[in-house]
C-alpha cells in the first residue's frame, strides 16, 4: 500500500499554519487560552504537536531500518537509521520536557553551545551518509534542508533576540521554522519508507515468479 505522503505533509503544514494564526488571535482571549496556543510557551498544544512531529520522524526512520535491513548489509546503513531515530526521539523528549533548560541549570553552561556542537557533528554524519551511502538526491535534499531549517529556528531563538527585538514575531518565526524543518525531514523519511516498501514488494514478487 502506497503511503499518502503528499496528503500527510499537506495536513501537517495546514495544522502548523493554524497554530501560528491562533498564536496571533489568542491575544485577548484570556490568560488560559493565550497560554494554550502561545508558541513561546512550554507544555501546551503547539508543544504537543511539535513533540508528535519529532517522534513521528523517530518512528518512521526506525521503520526504514527495519524494512530494509534484510536487503542492505552495509554496516554504515545499519547504524545510521537507528542512530537517526534515536536523535529525533531525544529531540521529541526535549521538546516535551524542556530538557535543554535542565542541562543549562545543572551544568551551568548555555545548552545552545552543547547542542550546536552535537548538531554540527550530526549534520556532517547525515551529509556523508546521504550523499555517499544512500545516494538518493530527493531524500538528501529533504533531510538536509529540513535539518538546516530546524537549526535556523533554534538559532533565531538564541542569537537574534540578543541583537534584534522582534516581539511576537520572534516566537512565530522560531517555532514556525522548527515545525517546517521537522515536517520536511518527515516528508523525506516517509518517501524513503514508501520507496523501500515497494522495492521489498517487487523483490518478493520476483522471487515468487522464479520459484
In this predicted structure, what is the pLDDT of residue 210? Answer: 47
Instruction: List, as own/partner pairs, every contact residues 75-83 make where C-beta atoms lie below 8 angstroms and the sequence separation is at least 24, other chains included.
Output: 76/129, 76/133, 77/129, 77/133, 77/134, 80/125, 80/129, 80/133, 80/134, 83/125
What are the pLDDT digits (tens) for 196-208? 888 877 766 544 4
pLDDT in tens, 73-128: 677 888 999 999 999 999 999 999 888 878 877 778 888 888 999 999 999 999 99
139-175 pLDDT, tens digit per residue, is: 999 999 999 999 998 887 776 666 555 566 677 888 8
Query: What's the pTM?
Result: 0.90
- Exposed, middle or buried, 175 (CB in 10 Å: 0-12/13-18/19+)? buried
Check residue 109 and give left, alpha or beta (phi > 0: left; psi -120 to 50: alpha).
beta
For the chain, the domains span 49-210
Instruction: Average the pLDDT over 126-135 and give the result.
Output: 92
Helix %, strand %, coil % of the chain (to 5): 85, 0, 15
Residue 154: predicted pLDDT: 85
How far apart are the C-alpha atoms of 93 and 178, rounded to whole Å? 15
- The confidence score (pLDDT) of residue 7 equals 95
Amino acid at each position: 500500500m502506497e503511503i499518502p505522503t503528499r496528503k500527510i505533509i499537506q495536513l501537517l503544514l495546514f495544522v502548523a499554519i493554524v497554530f501560528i494564526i491562533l498564536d496571533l488571535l489568542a491575544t485577548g482571549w484570556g490568560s488560559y487560552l493565550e497560554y494554550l496556543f502561545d508558541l513561546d510557551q512550554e507544555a501546551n498544544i503547539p508543544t504537543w504537536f511539535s513533540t508528535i512531529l519529532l517522534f513521528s520522524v523517530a518512528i518512521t526512520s526506525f521503520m526504514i531500518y527495519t524494512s530494509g535491513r534484510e536487503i542492505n548489509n552495509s554496516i554504515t546503513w545499519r547504524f545510521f537509521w537507528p542512530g537517526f531515530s534515536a536523535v529525533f526521539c531525544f529531540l521529541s523528549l526535549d521538546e516535551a520536557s524542556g530538557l535543554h533548560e535542565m542541562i543549562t541549570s545543572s551544568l551551568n553552561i548555555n545548552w545552545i553551545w552543547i547542542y550546536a556542537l552535537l548538531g554540527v557533528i550530526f549534520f556532517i554524519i547525515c551529509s556523508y551518509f546521504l550523499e555517499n551511502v544512500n545516494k538518493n538526491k530527493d531524500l538528501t535534499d529533504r533531510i538536509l534542508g529540513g535539518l538546516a531549517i530546524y537549526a535556523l529556528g533554534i538559532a533565531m531563538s538564541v542569537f537574534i533576540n540578543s541583537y534584534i527585538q522582534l516581539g511576537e514575531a520572534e516566537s512565530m518565526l522560531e517555532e514556525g521554522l522548527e515545525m517546517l524543518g521537522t515536517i520536511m525531514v518527515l516528508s523525506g523519511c516517509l518517501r524513503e519508507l514508501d520507496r523501500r516498501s515497494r522495492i521489498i514488494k517487487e523483490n518478493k514478487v520476483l522471487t515468487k515468479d522464479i520459484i
